[in-house]
Amino acid sequence: MPGLVLFLGIGMLAGEEGIGGLAFENYPLAHAIGTVALVLILFDGGLQTGWRSFRTAWKPALTLSTVGVFATAGLTGLAAAWLLDLPLLVGLLLGSIVGSTDAAAVFSILRGQGLHLKERIAATLEIESGSNDPMAVLLTLACVSMLLGDVEPGWALVGFFVQQVVIGAAGGVAVGLAGVWISNRVSLGAVGLYPALVLGTGLLAYGLPAYLGGSGFLSVYLAGLVMGNARVAFKRGILLAHDGGAWIAQIVMFIMLGLLATPSRLMDVALDGMLVAAVLMFVARPLAVFATLAPLRFNVRELTFLSWVGLKGAIPIILAIYPLVLGVPEGELLFNVVFFVVLLSALTQGWTIPPVAKWTGVWEEGGRPAPP
């Protein structure tokens, strides 16, 4: 069983309708904790991604993380609006929330099961899952803003996207380079302080661009990518410390999200959730993958595997909190449907990845293992 399902289950058992009986419905606090956890996970993902992987797969990965997410969100949103009898914009909001492949889920599955995949496939999955969250966040914020009347479709929305990407990318590279320079020039006296210094760099890489109106999630991943591929003092210890920190962040985040879930409410939306999940897994994601990556010299079996590893995890649940916090009328319905979709994705896709990898021929002995 994927680890994320285990910890979600622990949270649900400890929750209001479980044996723990803990009532937890503080959505703003959950959103804050989830955001910090995702920052740590994305920063560690960047630290663990080598330039070789980036050079090998930057084109398909970035295509999937932008055009692919947009296509997946649009197709899922249109289907959700029709199947669930929702207003079109609310359906598109649901599609945007579940449109991206979750970094925490992918890193958890690949590392935990020690998959040996073809190098280009492994690199594509790593980079896509680490870099596609900004697109999902942007699409979600755009839909919420339009629902609340804060922004109108048109050039203002395009400007919002450009601003988020440009400031996020520039901020991440700049903070990452600054972090490398500082780490190699200060004497902290204790080896254990260097991981803390790098952690501060990662937090700054998220906070500064976000404050300036950019995408903090894109920034923190790029900052980790820059620092992870540079010569940094005590680098081995830094990587080990941040890998452990990312695992702790995942555990805390998934248990907290499990506390938020109410099983009786999930059962109320079971049919809706299964319909949306079926469209997402068997229609929207495969169509987006085949349409965007077929011209980039992937064969049918590789495209099939990449289509199946569209794992959903914490990011959709965190994004589903936005409509609740900001007062979107259908916010509670969206949250419960998204939670059900994430559970179904983890249970059906998560544990089947190794056999699907062997069946499609992307698993190879002596191939590239998942990050340590």
pLDDT at 47 over 70: yes
Rounded to whole angstroms, how far apart are CA atoms 209 and 137? 14
pLDDT at 372 over 50: no
pLDDT at 106 over 70: yes
| Domain parsing of the chain, residue ranges | 3-16+33-363
Rounded to whole angstroms, how far apart are CA atoms 212 and 175? 14
Banded model confidence at residue 109, pLDDT cuts 50, 70, 90: low
216-265 pLDDT per residue, tens: 888 998 999 899 999 888 888 898 998 888 888 888 888 888 888 888 88
Q: Report the chain's C-alpha Rg in angstroms.
A: 20
pLDDT at 178: 95
pLDDT at 100 over 60: yes
Banded model confidence at residue 304, pLDDT cuts 50, 70, 90: very high
Rounded to whole angstroms, how far apart are CA atoms 237 and 178? 20
pLDDT at 122 over 50: yes
pLDDT at 25: 82
Q: Is the dihedral of CA 92, 169, 46, 203 positive or negative?
A: negative
Rounded to whole angstroms, how far apart are CA atoms 284 and 257? 26
11-20 pLDDT per residue, tens: 889 988 888 8
Q: Give start and end residues of each alpha helix (H) in the chain.
A: 3-14, 27-48, 51-63, 69-83, 88-97, 103-113, 119-131, 133-147, 155-183, 193-211, 216-228, 235-260, 263-268, 270-279, 285-293, 300-308, 314-326, 331-345, 353-360
pLDDT at 370: 42
Topology adopted by domain 3-16+33-363? Na+/H+ antiporter like fold (1.20.1530)
pLDDT at 154: 67
Residue the block writes with tokens 């084109």 = 59
Q: Quote the tokens at residue 31.
A: 């959103």
pLDDT at 318: 84
Range with the poorest average pLDDT among 99-113, 160-174, 202-216, 245-259: 99-113
- Residue 316: CA atoms inside 13 Å, Cβ hemisphere, count? 33
pLDDT at 212: 92
pLDDT at 85 over 80: yes
